[in-house]
Amino acid sequence: MSDAKHLLEISVYDGEFAGDVTSLTQLCVIEGSVTPHDREPYSPLEETWRLLELGSAKYVTPAPSGACFTVLIDSKDVEDAEAEPLIRLDVYAHNGEAHARVISRLPPWDTEGVRYDPEDSAVTIALNVLRGNLRVE
């Protein structure tokens, strides 16, 4: 995935995905790629983790307005405006605990719950969900 000609486009939307993002408010978009130098390339979720880390360190992003928000992860060729959908995270964050349903070409799966602070942004909450559920060397 971390090929020099490909980027991940991570779009965060406020609200629950019901088949069409046009009814949701876009909170932010993070584009980029991360290439490890000492191991195999990152999986799309691992690369998303790394990009969210970089984005949360550089930019202030809004908190979700309610308990649900959606993260769309697409692959994008730098020479083409078309993005290919890879993964959708349907995140539920309530009372300091967040978890997500991960939807991709593979069978959907649910993450374990992780803690978050009420003032955390949607990006920070999604990052915490990935950190708490992925094992990266």
Rounded Cα distance, 52 and 89, in Å: 13
Cα 99-84-120 angle, rounded to 5 deg: 30
Which pTM was predicted?
0.91
Query: What angle do the packed helices 44-58 and 122-133 form, to 10 degrees?
Result: 140
The pLDDT, as a whole number, for residue 39 is 85
8 contacts: CB under 8 Å, gap ≥ 6: 1, 31, 32, 33, 44, 47, 48, 51, 73, 74, 75, 76, 86
Tokens standing for residue 24: 């949701």
**Residues 24-52 pLDDT 10s:** 999 999 999 998 888 888 899 999 999 99
Sequence-distant (≥ 6) Cβ neighbours of residue 63 within 8 angstroms: 119, 120, 121, 122
Q: Are 2 and 76 in contact, with CB atoms under 8 Å apart?
A: no
H runs (alpha helix) in 23-67:
44-58
CB-CB contact of 10 with 29 (8 Å): yes
Computed from CA positions of residues 107, 24, 42, 134, in that sequence, does the dihedral angle turn out positive or negative?
negative
| Res. 2 pLDDT band, cuts 50 70 90 | very low
- 75-123 pLDDT, tens digit each: 988 777 788 999 999 999 999 999 999 999 999 999 999 999 999 999 9
